[in-house]
Amino acid sequence: MASDDMSGMDRKLMWVEFPSGTRLSQSRASEGNRGLVFDDDNALVTHADLYPAAHAIKVIAAASLTVGLVVGAAAVKAAPYVRSGLSGLKSKLHRKPTSDEGPVLDATITLERTDGSPARTARGSVRTGPGLGEDLTAFADTAASDED
């Protein structure tokens, strides 16, 4: 993994081990680190151990490939269930009202104004659902008896 570049320097990807609670020394010439390990008081503790990173890269690549294959296989297995669930949701959203949803109530509302201007009337229908139809029917019956 060593490479030559125009600066005349060889580069190699390395795995670095050093004791916890310490830090690698900063290079003054570049943004890199040196292999010297210092503590918080800037006292030299030891040298860092450098290992070739090729093995670590292979392990990470294998783990990533395994996770990708497992996620892909799960997606392939789950796709029919997800598709059927979404089509069921779509059909629920686009379905036509059926007769078991309750009666349709026609309503006329007249608003009378106190300032003497003409009254306004609105007409429309309301489809009621189970349990709600009885309340609206009772309300409509009460409104009709108030008009009489």
Listed by start position, the domains of the chain span 3-52, 99-143
In the chain, pLDDT over 70 holds for what percent of residues?
65
Q: Please tell me whether residue 24 adopts helix, strand or coil conformation.
A: strand
Residues 6+ apart with CB under 8 A from 112: 119
* Burial of 24 from C-beta contacts in 10 A (0-12 / 13-18 / 19+): middle
Tens of pLDDT, residues 17-55: 888 989 888 887 777 888 889 888 989 999 998 888 888
In this prediction, residue 77 has a pLDDT band, given cuts at 50, 70 and 90, of: very high
| Token couple for 62 | 């294998």
Mean pLDDT value across residues 68-96: 85
First-to-last alpha carbon distance for the chain, in angstroms, is 97
Contact 49, 16 (CB under 8 A): yes
What does the pLDDT read at residue 5?
A: 60
- Please tell me the distance from the alpha carbon of residue 71 to that of residue 59, in angstroms, as a whole number: 18
pLDDT at residue 133 is higher than 50: no
